[in-house]
Structure 1
Amino acid sequence: MSNSVAKKIMYGVLIFLIVISVLISTSVVYLLATNHGNLGQVITVFTLIKSQSIQDISTRELIEGSVSGMVEALKDPYSVYLDKTTYDTLQERMRGTYGGVGLLITKDAEGRLVVVSPFRGTPAHRAGVAAGDFITKINDENTADMELETAASLMQGEPGTEVTITIYREGRDPRDVTIIREIITIPSVDGEILAEEPDIAYINLSMFNENTGEELQRHMDELRAEGFKALILDMRNNPGGSLHAAIEVADQFIPEGPVVHIVSKFKTNTFEAKGPAIDVPVVVLVNSGSASASEIVAGAIQDTGVGILVGEKTFGKGLVQSLFPIGDGAALKLTTARYLTPGERDINEKGIEPDIEIILTPEETFEALQDAPDPANDPQLQKAIEIIKTKIN
């Protein structure tokens, strides 16, 4: 490389660094100029706490508190500061294994802690905790104003240890439920040919983790070898999970075209299926515990006309969270986008209406999802079979 070319490159790099420095300096100056009063309050409060408070608190704890407070100012139950312990726990859950009771929780519009769904076969599910139950206490600690990740962390712990939660269901008195924690290993996909219907395959998706797409493909291949003519996809009480997994799952059902539109502050990304569509009739089972990634799949199947949705209106979580590691093992979980179905429906806080509605009580749902699929104890599954038999050639 000649000296003249090298000088031009160095000059270009220098100009770039100068521009970046100016932009950063301008941003800081603007922040200070427009918020000098509030920033002064922050410094004053910090100084008073360190010098006057009777409580001994570290600078690290104060900084963590200020970061957490900034996130809380968003008033978004899905955005939260995650300390190292909580972030590690979240990563374990996404890998599909952790010690706990097996619940997915959220907050409603009034800030109450509510169960989205229990994972099938877990201690919470066996104890009768149901979608829609409110959790008012965890080990006698009131959950009012408690962060979601804190609540989840309190219910997780060493297998064999106990946790007591107080649940309230509309029209019922609050009751304490003591649950023994277990290793929660959740195979996200299970499949079989229905015992009394040899032409119908049944696949249950319990959640969406990093292995779900691959697991589904394996089950589909095994069931195809048995020659099914129709498929029931059960996503009841599926709380969601990985966006990438939802796209992989939808890709195995719908034709070439959009799976989901992700709308952020600055742009819209459309994720597309490669096609072709599945070549057998499909019925999808959903309920109020079907949320997030399961709604992406259900919405894609409904919008493309690939299948019929049977059951109850879904939960209505149409927001996408991103994880940002911020050092020292901590992270920020932040709502960064909303998603739209292929037909550009915004389902957040609205849910997806099934094509055929069959509403079950929490007790009926518990009974229906307790063991292997049994139409005799499951009116929604029974209806799905009835519909799908009319479509088998």
Structure 2
Amino acid sequence: MIKSTFWQKLFTTIVLVSIAWLSWTTNATAYYNEEEKIFLQAWRIVNQAYVDDSFNDQNWWFVRQRFLDRGFSDRSATYDAIEEMLATLDDPFTRLLRPEQYRSLQVNTAGELSGVGLQIDINSQTKQLEVVTPIDNSPAEKAGIKPRDRVLAIDGVKTKTLSLDEAAAKMRGQVGTPVTLTVQSGSGKNTNIRDVEIVRDRISLNPVYARLDDNSGETPIGYLRLAQFSANATKEIAHSIANLEDQGAKGFILDLRNNPGGLLQAGIETARLWLNSGTVVYTVNRQGMIGSYGATDEAVTDAPLIVLVNQGSASASEILAGALQDNDRATIVGETTFGKGLIQSLFDLPDDSGIAVTVAKYETPNHRDINKAGIEPDYKVSQSLLPFSEMGTGDDQQYQEAVKLLTKQTLVAQN
């Protein structure tokens, strides 16, 4: 009887505590105003998903409370607070996307863009705004801007005062309007700083250029250039492979030079076009848990393949090159790639803004960490950056080396 009474009292106490806690959390949530709720949603997303569970060696709960104590007078102040909070992570890829920026990013990954045609990044070591690559045939490429150039100012505004998205927004604008970029090239005694005026234009992001090279000896070669991993990239590559084989292609050169990446899933699906088996990429989250993406036994061709890369090949390009290299499916020719091995996910906030958060890093099938290291080519061939019109021609040394290697591989496969 005594035991029964004890457990009844304990159960009643637990129920009362649970009800009290639920009541408190409900009231606490109701207590926050709209600005605080937006801030807290951003904080929770980072708290649950960010790759570094030390949050750059700081107490994330204390960070939360410090900003809540300060308060937010309006939406602009809320955005400023979120950006300041994210800046404490010292990760340029984890960032707030205000509504206009968020809409613009979604449009860009769908394959539409207007502006100067630069893919940019913030160098994690120097903190400078850096060119990953100019888009093929864009105003920036025609103006002579090259991968690894630093953009010091945009219309006189120093880029060190701008976030990545703010810098991108300043470069965008109406077709026909000018923008002046202060660009630094080279290093040490070879440093060159200059102002470059560029007239904005409509940027074509058709991701695939394909043609049959039947002037390369006895082996007709299918040349595929992939500009970026947009939503329709895999479909376009698959269609081009089929067309080129119908035209007689016996081997392929896949050109990923100056391809800055794009959608992770597009990189994975493109790798699957070439692989019948094996791992495409591993992802590693903050708990050290490893996930993987593999081939699906649906390769569209088993023809010999050479992949061209350079220092402007980044992110999803490195996933694809690493997957094909580690699975012995392709030979890599060119220069060491950019070295971006971090994965970001996009999360919606309640007011049509969004937040990009670094959630994991990726490794190649042989567990190589690409971040800051890049993919080393099997055959290193250095050359200055060529305009799009000269790629895949007799003046393209990297392409010519790929043709030689592919011709040998094709002849061996045929014998």
Output the TM-score relative to the length of structure 1: 0.85
- Over 3 Å counting, the alpha-carbon distance change for 1:127 and 1:71 in structure 2 is same
Question: Would you say 1:261 and 2:243 are equivalent positions?
Answer: no
- Over 3 Å counting, the alpha-carbon distance change for 1:21 and 1:336 in structure 2 is farther
Deviation at 1:374, TM superposition (A): 4.0
SS in 2 for 1:178: strand
Is contact 1:257-1:275 (8 Å) kept?
no
Aligned-partner Cα distance in 2 for 1:339–1:289? 18
Residue number in structure 1 paired with 2:88: 73
Residue number in structure 2 paired with 1:167: 183
Deviation at 1:254, TM superposition (A): 1.8
Deviation at 1:44, TM superposition (A): 5.7
Q: C-alpha deviations, 1:7-56, integer Å up to 9, x for none? A: xxxxxxx99x969949968x99xx9xx9998677546644xxx8xxxxxx
Deviation at 1:154, TM superposition (A): 0.5
- Over 3 Å counting, the alpha-carbon distance change for 1:90 and 1:20 in structure 2 is farther
SS in 2 for 1:90: helix
- Over 3 Å counting, the alpha-carbon distance change for 1:324 and 1:40 in structure 2 is closer
Deviation at 1:70, TM superposition (A): 1.2
Is contact 2:113-2:205 (8 Å) kept?
no
Aligned-partner Cα distance in 2 for 1:23–1:379? 69
Q: 1:187 is aligned with what amino acid?
A: N
Residue number in structure 2 paired with 1:9: none
SS in 2 for 1:317: coil
Aligned-partner Cα distance in 1 for 2:60–2:146? 47
Question: Would you say 1:192 and 2:208 are equivalent positions?
Answer: no
Question: Would you say 1:103 and 2:118 are equivalent positions?
Answer: yes
Aligned-partner Cα distance in 2 for 1:37–1:354? 46
Aligned-partner Cα distance in 1 for 2:232–2:393? 29
Is contact 1:262-1:338 (8 Å) kept?
yes
Residue number in structure 1 paired with 2:252: 231
Residue number in structure 2 paired with 1:3: none
Q: C-alpha deviations, 1:207-240, integer Å up to 9, x for none? A: 0011001111111111110121111000000000
1:203-214 matches, within 5 Å, as: 203-214=224-235
Equivalences, count:
359
Share of identical aligned residues, percent? 35
Q: 2:250 is aligned with what amino acid?
A: K
Aligned-partner Cα distance in 2 for 1:192–1:23? 66
Question: Would you say 1:365 and 2:385 are equivalent positions?
Answer: yes
Residue number in structure 2 paired with 1:384: 402
Question: Would you say 1:303 and 2:321 are equivalent positions?
Answer: no
Residue number in structure 1 paired with 2:140: 124
Aligned-partner Cα distance in 2 for 1:389–1:291? 27
Question: Would you say 1:252 and 2:270 are equivalent positions?
Answer: no
Q: 2:195 is aligned with what amino acid?
A: D
The root-mean-square deviation of aligned C-alpha atoms, in Å, is 2.6
Question: Would you say 1:134 and 2:150 are equivalent positions?
Answer: yes
SS in 2 for 1:392: helix
Match of 1:283 among 295, 298, 306: 306
SS in 1 for 2:101: helix
Residue number in structure 1 paired with 2:164: 148
Aligned-partner Cα distance in 1 for 2:185–2:329? 36
Is contact 1:314-1:352 (8 Å) kept?
yes
Is contact 1:111-1:145 (8 Å) kept?
no
Deviation at 1:135, TM superposition (A): 0.3
SS in 2 for 1:381: helix
Aligned-partner Cα distance in 2 for 1:164–1:121? 19
Deviation at 1:303, TM superposition (A): 0.2
- Over 3 Å counting, the alpha-carbon distance change for 1:23 and 1:215 in structure 2 is farther
- Over 3 Å counting, the alpha-carbon distance change for 1:68 and 1:39 in structure 2 is closer
Q: Which sits farther off after the overlay, 103-112 or 371-380? A: 371-380
Aligned-partner Cα distance in 1 for 2:225–2:23? 55
Q: 1:225 is aligned with what amino acid?
A: D
Is contact 2:214-2:221 (8 Å) kept?
no
Is contact 1:252-1:275 (8 Å) kept?
no
Deviation at 1:86, TM superposition (A): 0.8
Q: C-alpha deviations, 1:356-390, integer Å up to 9, x for none? A: 11112xxx313xx4305443211111111111111
Residue segments in structure 2 that go unaligned for 5+ positions in a row: 1-14, 30-42, 44-58
SS in 2 for 1:321: strand
Q: Which sits farther off after the overlay, 315-324 or 68-77? A: 68-77
